[in-house]
Amino acid sequence: MSRDSPSLSLSPVMYEIEGESAFAYLAVARRLREQGRRVISFGIGQPDFVTPAHIREEAKRALDEGFTGYTETPGIPELREAIAWYLNSRYGAGVTPEEVIVTTGAKTAIFIGMAAYLRPGDEVVIPDPSYYAYAQVAKLFGARPVYVPMKFVEGEGFRLDIEAIERAVTERTRMIVINNPHNPTGNVFPPDQVGDLLDLARRRGILVLADEIYDNFLYGGARFRSVLSGGDWRDNVVYVNGFSKTFSMTGWRLGYLVVREEAARRIIDLAVTVYSCPPSIAQRAGIAALKGDWGPVREMIEEFEARAKILYSNLKDAPGIEAYMPEGAFYMFPRVAGLLEKTGLTVERLVEKLLHEEGVLVLPGTSFPEKVGRSHVRISFATSRREVDEGSRIISSFAERLWRQATA
């Protein structure tokens, strides 16, 4: 093929965009399974539960009724009303249905939320480690990600460094990103830190893009404060949430963005250009999710908390691994610096050895930019309790073996 082929003349920004490297490791695990190897995967970030029956039944009714065409771009009124009702009843948010834009998943909400506000040359402050997509979307619109390392507290996990975030703010700073409960760490930021971040944004005239997709995954009495709490959010908050995690609806592609009404009216014009409208059947299912029986959600959260306790119990004494009890989401991001220093391995090589030698997949922290992850791994406990127990015991034994070999 000719090097000057127009189809190879990609926009320069495409060479700056990075994909989700986690999928490369998932592909290796799949190939090992195809070769007959048993693999316990702690890699995937989705609940291992089927969407609750009453939600599926509503989707079937919508299908049988022929509710299969285009809908309003920001979502059908009944769903926007249900989302506003949920946010207001839980957080006292004061959200109106007109401030809700239903999207094709939370990733789309992140995309249009950033697209609406970012300009070339802007800076976006992102805590490190982070979910990879925030930085990639920022780069797409000509903004520069500015990473601020979070603090690792022994026995507790990660906390925001508010002072460092403020030091990172310049005249070019347009937005700060917060994901709470947090992927990849599984931490829930204390309410006072969330308040301090919002105060900083107000003082400096900065937007906060808040991704609260895991807001129902809270363990051990973790105290969660939504950025929408109390209703004083309109000047500084761009809010992202969705149905994928709470209702185990990852394949339904249903999320939402919340912004003040004046901005929402303009962003809807962008949304119709990007995706026309959310899936009609999924929207009907979303109403049933919010307004129906939350019993299956509570049972799922209880199961995840039990798994988190097993994971922590099995890893807390492993040599070279600094584990902590997850507070939210379904992840742990233990520090493995001791093991890396003892063995001379990189975190990527450590992950590869664990997968190929022991059949257990975790993700290297480098999948969650920028620098902090070089001494961490992410463990997702979105798999069966039996596999969480067995897999974490294998990780502990693996660490002990490597430690002994390096000491001998």
Pair 31, 79 in one domain: no
Predicted local distance difference test score (pLDDT) of residue 23: 74
In angstroms and rounded to an integer, the radius of gyration of the C-alpha atoms of the chain is: 22
Domain boundary among 259, 291, 323: 291
Helix (H, G, I), strand (E, B) or coil at 136: helix
* End residue of a domain, out of 269, 291, 313: 291
Domain boundary (261, 291, 321) is at: 291
For residues 81 and 225, state if they share a domain: yes
The answer to whether residues 25 and 70 belong to one domain is no
Residue 266 domain-assigned (yes or no): yes
Q: What is the pLDDT at residue 2?
A: 54
163 and 283: one domain?
A: yes
Between the two ends of the chain, the Cα-to-Cα distance in Å is 55
> Do 265 and 382 fall within a single domain?
no
DSSP 398: H
Position 105 in a domain: yes
Question: Is 373 found in the same domain as 321?
Answer: yes
The whole-angstrom separation of Cα 346 and Cα 143 is: 30
Domain count, the chain: 2
Residues 270 and 332 in one domain: no
- pTM of this prediction exceeds 0.75: yes
Strand partners, 44: none
Give whole-number Cα distances, 173 to 79, 139, 166, 208, 351, in Å: 34, 14, 10, 11, 36
Is residue 63 situated within a structural domain? yes
Domain for residue 19, yes or no? yes
Q: What is the CATH number of the domain that holds 272?
A: 3.40.640.10
On whether residue 173 sits in a domain, the answer given is yes
Query: In this predicted structure, what is the pLDDT of residue 18?
Result: 81
Q: Are residues 41 and 186 in the same domain?
A: no
- Residue numbers of the domain that contains 145: 53-291
Per-residue pLDDT tens, the chain, 408 aa: give them. 456 789 888 999 988 888 777 778 888 888 988 999 999 999 988 999 999 999 999 999 999 999 999 999 999 999 999 999 999 999 999 999 999 999 999 999 999 999 999 999 999 999 999 999 999 999 999 999 999 999 999 999 999 999 999 999 999 999 999 999 999 999 999 999 999 999 999 999 999 999 999 999 999 999 999 999 999 999 999 999 999 999 999 999 999 999 999 999 999 999 999 999 999 999 999 999 999 999 999 999 999 999 999 999 999 999 999 999 999 999 999 999 999 999 999 999 999 999 999 999 999 999 998 999 999 999 999 999 999 999 999 999 999 999 999 997
Same domain, 237 and 118: yes
In a shared domain, residues 177 and 308: no
Residue 1 lies in a domain: no
